[in-house]
Chains A and B, each alone.
Chain A
Amino acid sequence: DAKTTQPTSMDCAEGRAANLPCNHSTISGNEYVYWYRQIHSQGPQYIIHGLKNNETNEMASLIITEDRKSSTLILPHATLRDTAVYYCIVRVAGSARQLTFGSGTQLTVLP
């Protein structure tokens, strides 16, 4: 799986959009970008994934650059409950291998 780079921490005001970047410059053509988050003392939660087109679901939007070397996870209206560590992971869809978690980005939503 390709290596990813994320900022260590970010703050966001409650009600504003949170934009979390991720660099994955060595991504292969068949690898997807996955985002998970881990709220303190809980198991990771799947958020969204995509290959090359922008994706949106009820939780977030995923914007992938045209060269696919970076992406941004957008939480449109952050709430205090969105405070968590966010992980960007690159892998082949349907792979039976484990997820490799890096350090992630600690997002703190401020009141």
Chain B
Amino acid sequence: GAVVSQHPSWVICKSGTSVKIECRSLDFQATTMFWYRQFPKQSLMLMATSNEGSKATYEQGVEKDKFLINHASLTLSTLTVTSAHPEDSSFYICSAQGQGVAKNIQYFGAGTRLSVL
């Protein structure tokens, strides 16, 4: 299967700082990338969808000015949590879909656990 790399896997930051999470498709071009958030004992919830070269589409209730998404190339999308607060602590997961092996299958990164102190 295809590989999606997500970095970092774990980050701790102080309240008020910003954190950037990277999501890369290593062996295919990702025309669409998705960002999910997962709280303990809950299922994945979509935050936003990004298409290469376009502005991200955010789900209702997700603040676009707080969760900045950039999808500047066909292999890289970034999620920046700005002015993070303890309630932003969660497990953030990206996924990608695109061409070739990833045309009909969405592949996921390993996730990033964010802890805001």
Contact = CB atoms under 8 A, between A and B. Distances in A.
A73 to B, nearest CB: 16
A96 B43 contact: no
Contacts of B111: 41-43
Contacts, number: 52
Interface residues of B, number: 27
Nearest to B107: A46
Main secondary structure of the interface of B (DSSP, over half): strand
B109 to A, nearest CB: 5
Contact of A49 (B43, B49, B104, B108): B104
Nearest to A102: B43
A59 to B, nearest CB: 10
A34 to B, nearest CB: 8
Contacts of A101: 43-44
Contacts of A103: 43
A98 B43 contact: no
B12 interface: no
Q: Which of B6, B43, B103 lies at the interface centre, i.e. has the most chain A CB atoms within 10 A of its CB? A: B43
B30 to A, nearest CB: 11
A98 B93 contact: no
A43 B108 contact: yes
B113 interface: yes
B11 interface: no
27 contacts: A34-B105, A41-B91, A41-B111, A42-B111, A43-B4, A43-B6, A43-B93, A43-B108, A43-B110, A44-B44, A44-B93, A44-B95, A44-B108, A46-B1, A46-B105, A46-B106, A46-B108, A49-B104, A93-B104, A96-B31, A96-B32, A98-B34, A98-B36, A98-B95, A99-B95, A101-B44, A102-B43
Task: Give 6 closest A-B pairs by Cβ, nearest first.
Answer: A43-B108, A93-B104, A43-B111, A101-B43, A98-B46, A101-B44
